[in-house]
C-alpha cells in the first residue's frame, strides 16, 4: 500500500481525469528492493500519466530528495537533475538562530510555477510527517 495524492484544477469536487494536474506518491515499497540506497521520498507525475498500468514503470517527472521532517529537502526535475525548489529551516535574519520547524523557507527557482511547487509541499507534508495519523485507519 502506498499513498497517492491527485491534484485537480480549481476547487471542483468531481475527480475528472481531464482536470488532473499531477499525481504525487511515496515511492513504491517494492521498488526499494530494486534500487537500494534510493534517496527520494516522493515522486510526482505530471498530467494524467499515472493511473494506466503501462506508465507505472516510467520515471517520475519530479522527485523529492532529503528529509521533509527535518525541513531539509529539494525538489528535483528528474530528466535534467535540475533543482527546482529547496526547503530549509528558516533562520532569523541570516543569523544561526533557527525558527521552529512550523516555519520554513521555500526557494523556488525562476520560471517554475510557485503554486505547483507549493502543492507539492502540502502533499509532502501529508505523505511524510505523520506516520501514525488517523489517515491510516480510514
Partner 1 sequence: MSRIHPSDQSRSHGHLLFKNHKLGSRTRPLHDDDDKRSDQLPADPSVMLTVWKRSSMSFQGTDGFTVFDPHGTLVFRVDNYSRKNGYGLVLMDGVGNALLSLKPKVRTYNVHQLVHQGFIFAMSTPRVMA
35 binds partner 1 (CB under 8 A): no
Helix (H, G, I), strand (E, B), or coil: what is residue 27? Answer: coil
74 binds partner 1 (CB under 8 A): no
Q: Look-up: residue for cell 475528472?
A: 16
CB of 26 to partner 1, least distance (A): 10
Q: Look-up: residue for cell 529547496?
A: 86
16 binds partner 1 (CB under 8 A): no
Q: Look-up: residue for cell 526499494?
A: 32
If you ran DSSP here, which 8-state letter would residue 1 be given?
Answer: -
CB of 55 to partner 1, least distance (A): 12
Count of residues that bind partner 1 according to CB under 8 A:
58
By CB atoms closer than 10 A (0-12, 13-18, 19+), residue 28 is middle
C-alpha cell at 24: 504525487
Q: Look-up: residue for cell 485537480?
A: 8
29 binds partner 1 (CB under 8 A): yes
Query: Which residues sit at the interface with partner 1, rule CB under 8 A?
Result: 1-13, 15, 21, 25, 28-31, 34, 46-47, 53, 56-57, 61-62, 79-80, 87, 90, 101-116, 118-119, 121-123, 125-126, 134-135, 138
Amino acid at each position: 500500500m502506498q499513498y497517492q495524492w491527485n491534484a485537480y484544477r480549481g476547487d471542483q469536487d468531481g475527480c475528472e481525469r481531464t482536470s488532473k494536474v499531477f499525481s504525487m506518491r511515496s515511492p513504491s515499497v517494492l521498488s526499494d528492493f530494486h534500487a537500494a540506497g534510493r534517496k527520494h521520498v516522493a515522486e510526482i507525475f505530471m498530467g494524467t500519466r499515472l493511473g494506466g498500468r503501462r506508465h507505472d514503470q516510467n520515471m517520475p517527472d519530479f522527485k523529492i530528495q532529503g528529509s521533509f521532517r527535518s525541513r531539509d529537502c529539494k525538489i528535483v526535475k528528474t530528466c535534467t537533475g535540475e533543482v527546482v525548489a529547496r526547503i530549509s529551516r528558516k533562520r532569523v535574519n541570516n543569523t544561526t538562530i533557527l525558527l521552529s520547524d512550523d516555519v520554513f523557507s521555500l526557494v523556488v527557482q525562476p520560471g517554475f510555477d510557485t503554486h505547483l511547487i507549493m502543492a507539492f509541499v502540502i502533499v509532502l507534508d501529508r505523505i511524510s510527517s505523520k506516520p501514525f495519523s488517523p489517515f491510516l485507519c480510514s
